[in-house]
Amino acid sequence: MRRFSSKYYTKKPLKSHCLIKFVIIIIEKLRIPLSHSSLEILLKNKGTIMNYKFISWNIDSLNAALTGTSERAALSLAVVKNLAQAQPDVLAIQETKLPSTGPKKAHLEVLEELFKGYKIVWRSSVEPARKGYSGTMILYKETLPEPVITFPEIDAPEPMDAEGRIITLEFPDFFVTTVYTPNAQEGLTRLDLRGIWDDNYRNYLTSLDAQKPVFACGDFNAAYTEIDLANPRGNHNSAGFTDQEREKFGQLLEAGFTDTFRQLHGQVEKFYEEGRSIYTWFAQRAKTSKLNNSGWRIDYWLVSNRLAQAVKVSEPLDSGERLDHVPILLEFEL
């Protein structure tokens, strides 16, 4: 199931069936700030409040998780099975590392067995980009309204637009978009190109936000503040924590988006609850990184400011002994 578009999004007219719906649309267009109580009243008058559960995860090779035989592949598959049991409405996956032609039969057999009642949308890295690199996927429940699906290109430096880094689903009331942000790499060899990506991606998200609220998730490859990683002093020149990357992420938030984890948990450090780490990535090279809670928070659920108060849960999920990224959960009412 693939649909391509050279535009940022495909406009799909929606009918308004009541005055409340029209008022909500105007509020969203004008970005009028509402208290949580006012927002809740409007949403109740709009109809039944729906509870949504979204999960995002940089899996660092869905290919290996579904077909590999290594110990790490087994740990990854265990996490996939846990996510399937959680029954999220939307599951966004980054760094799938699937072939350019997408999931093979062996991949689909596992996914369709675990995720019964879901539709699958994928995007792989294609020429001139490196094959089997990057890639994204979204699984969403068949019971949701059928979304308009796009695979945006944001005029990023070559070959980033060909690396399968963004998928966007447009539902009647909001967008869900996932991203795997390019890494500046060791020696910061791609830092300047990464900066162009950040500017263009911010412009893309704001173009969506001008239409309707946005839920944006993924591996943003940026720890925004010093409390978002365990060892800030030693990493100011490391990819993901340079002044430039932090500044660009701040500009994204200033463009009208809320970091939902900080919205709910404030400026907590290291742990947001007893024994529950704030970090979303633990280095594989450091075998004790998770045990010592020495990680980075570089994966996010961002939401348009005007719906920030609708978010009820935003937190990392347990991935057991597996290092690297952990899944992140978002729950909200709308």
Question: Which CATH number is 240's domain given?
Answer: 3.60.10.10
Count of domains in the chain?
2
Q: Does residue 73 share a domain with residue 34?
A: no
| pLDDT over 70, % of the chain | 86
Q: Does residue 109 share a domain with residue 23?
A: no
Among candidate residues 107, 173, 299, 325, the one labeled active-site is 325
pLDDT value, residue 28: 58
Find out whether 237 is annotated in a ligand binding site. Answer: no
Among candidate residues 161, 173, 209, 219, the one labeled active-site is 219
What does the DSSP assignment read for 310-326? GEEEEEE---TT--EE-
Inter-residue contact 222 to 248 (CB < 8 Å): yes
Q: Does residue 74 share a domain with residue 110?
A: yes
User: What number of other Cβ atoms are within 10 A of residue 17's Cβ?
Assistant: 10
Find out whether 265 is annotated in a ligand binding site. Answer: no
Q: Determine which of 7-11, 89-93, 125-129, 323-327 has the lowest per-residue pLDDT on average.
A: 7-11
Two tokens at 115?
């995720």
Q: What is the pTM of this model?
A: 0.87
Q: Which domain does 32 fall in, by range? A: 13-47
Strand bridging mode 90-94 / 51-58:
parallel
Find out whether 324 is annotated in a ligand binding site. Answer: yes
Two tokens at 53?
């559960």
* pLDDT of 18 strictly over 50: no
Has residue 63 been placed in a domain? yes
Q: Does residue 236 share a domain with residue 210?
A: yes
Q: Does residue 17 share a domain with residue 116?
A: no
pLDDT digits (tens, 9 = 90+) for 196-209: 999 999 999 999 99
219 labelled catalytic: yes
* pLDDT of 35 strictly over 60: no
* pLDDT of 20 strictly over 70: no
Instruction: Please compute, for residue 26, the number of CA atoms within 13 A of its CA located in the half-sphere on the CB side.
Output: 7
224 labelled catalytic: no
Q: Does residue 66 share a domain with residue 40?
A: no
The radius of gyration of the chain from alpha carbons, rounded to an integer in Å, stands at 19
Q: How far is CA 237 from CA 127, 186, 232, 288, in A?
A: 31, 10, 10, 23
Tell me the torsion sign for CA atoms 56, 60, 65, 70. Answer: negative
Provide the pLDDT confidence category of residue 237 given band limits of 50, 70 and 90: very high
Q: Closest by alpha carbon to 203, among 151, 162, 252? A: 252
3-state secondary structure of 193: helix
Among candidate residues 52, 180, 204, 300, the one labeled active-site is 180
265 labelled catalytic: no
Find out whether 161 is annotated in a ligand binding site. Answer: no
In whole numbers, what is the pLDDT of the chain averaged over residues? 90
pLDDT value, residue 30: 63
* pLDDT of 301 strictly over 80: yes
Inter-residue contact 135 to 97 (CB < 8 Å): yes
More confident residue, 211 or 26: 211
